Chain A
């Protein structure tokens, strides 16, 4: 079991309020991702749940029991740190065994759990090595192994992939997702990378300056962002925002159109502009269009290779059924 409830939790460092009163429920077995720009309080929130920081007020409940004042080790949670935080002078085996040794678990049970974790994480050949002799991805797996053997009620991940290179990150992302499918344990995952959030999460919590901007499934957030911040944060490339006369046509202060919802052509379309930079990814091409008279640049995604060049005059047609409308406060106007 691993149901985590935050009830009006706040955190202040001196006079600075990092987390204003915040309510949140993380259901048992759910993969929840906290996402937001750096400094939004997502790591602090995770550390509050872990017990590494004390809440200033409010209550944290784990499986219905008040855990606000419970020391970290007694909360039944395991954490994977950004720097992995492996113990450099211990072998991989001793690193993984450490939490069990602290819990004074019988040796046979320890050996059994180490063996099964090592097997699951492909670490069997590395058990006698020191962390310094491992690659980034292997260290990451050791850190996960150290968390798994405790059989915690929830895993907490603090930006675990940010120290890995791009290729490894995609691989580890899949491994963590698969681990979640297999263990069916609650996982709370902090990242600033919206791609990680979209691909891994059951539930995404978008944070800005300590405030929860929106909670929902990845596709909820993609299809119905509650405000401009979420709309701009979720989705890659970023949503285009247009203000002024064009937005007024839709009875909105601002309208948002995703790059993938704009068709590009050389002859027809209500908007027009000049091609600036184009990014060719093979499967997609991103065009940055200037001089549209609507916004600084409009980003457009086209399928495959499209033969427009720098300086070409092009016409754009947005899909009117998926235009997002926002009022002057930046909040979503529902149809």
Chain B
């Protein structure tokens, strides 16, 4: 039959793409797992043979491990909370008819186009610099002592930088969700005597549930692996060493590929645990 024939033809046609993508994923993953069972020090003897679970034990028992997991979760949680809360508010604001709506919307999206390295540099030098930064000037203008943001409030600063970058993404998705809300529902609730606050709580927020889920899931995937912002600002100092950064240090600064690979496998496990939790908590919003 023609359909049978075209189906197998389709499989053959798709095969190169599928194989390429699969290889792209599987080869690095397999190599990471392989290296994690080896003592591999590129500058100090190279491949020194199999060591079983030694790397895994060493990585976990290092005093830096649990704090790094904690920092990772704090940053992810903080950014999620800020972007979702502000994103909902901004989306509500942008949904109002106003003059110059198109331009304002583009301006709001703009931060998303700035590369993480660049935005971190801009924040570090233009805003947060304790001597010349805008914040320092602002503080001095009010007679306060300038804060050296990246050393005194390092984790908050990084949360702020990353939130600034991801807020447009959240706003954009939530804005489209708000626009899809049937205006008759709002009018009906208005006639039913709901105050603006009640309308938000009972009608708008439940309607946004699914969009918020999408924002949280997608952002979590990317936020678990933030790196450039930390590399450019604190270099992992002042309690900002995330799991990703710890792995980077093990592999490139300590030149211990095996230990870093074991950390990589832990990172995969952590990401899956977080994802499972999120799916459990918010995933029910995706049903029906």
**A residues in contact (CB < 8 Å) with B:** 50-52, 71-74, 77-79, 81-83, 85-90, 98-99, 102-103, 130, 132, 146, 150
Contact = CB atoms under 8 A, between A and B. Distances in A.
Contacts, number: 62
Given A89-B207, A132-B288, A52 B187 contact: yes
Contacts of A74: 193
Given A98-B202, A102-B198, A146 B192 contact: yes
B206 interface: yes
A87 B202 contact: yes
5 smallest beta-carbon distances between A and B, as pairs: A73-B193, A85-B188, A99-B192, A85-B184, A102-B193
Nearest to A98: B192
B209 interface: yes
B47 interface: no
Given A81-B184, A82-B184, A85-B182, A52 B190 contact: yes
B194 interface: yes
Contacts of B182: 83, 85
Contacts of B206: 87, 89
Interface in B176-212: 182, 184-185, 187-195, 198, 202-203, 206-207, 209
Contact of A79 (B191, B194, B207, B209): B191
Nearest to B285: A89
5 contacts: A87-B202, A98-B202, A99-B193, A146-B188, A146-B192
Q: How large is the interface on B (under 10, 10 to 19, 20 to 34, 35 or more residues)?
A: 10 to 19
A66 to B, nearest CB: 19
A50 B193 CA distance: 12
Contact of B191 (A72, A82, A132): A72
B202 A78 contact: no
Nearest to B206: A89
Nearest to B185: A85
Contact of B192 (A52, A82, A102, A130): A102
A130 B187 CA distance: 20
A91 B187 CA distance: 19
B27 to A, nearest CB: 45
Contacts of A132: 288
B99 to A, nearest CB: 15
B192 A81 contact: no
Nearest to B194: A102
Nearest to B209: A89
Q: In this complex, which of B188, B193, B202 has the most chain A Cβ atoms within 10 angstroms of its Cβ? A: B188
Contact of B190 (A72, A130, A146, A150): A72
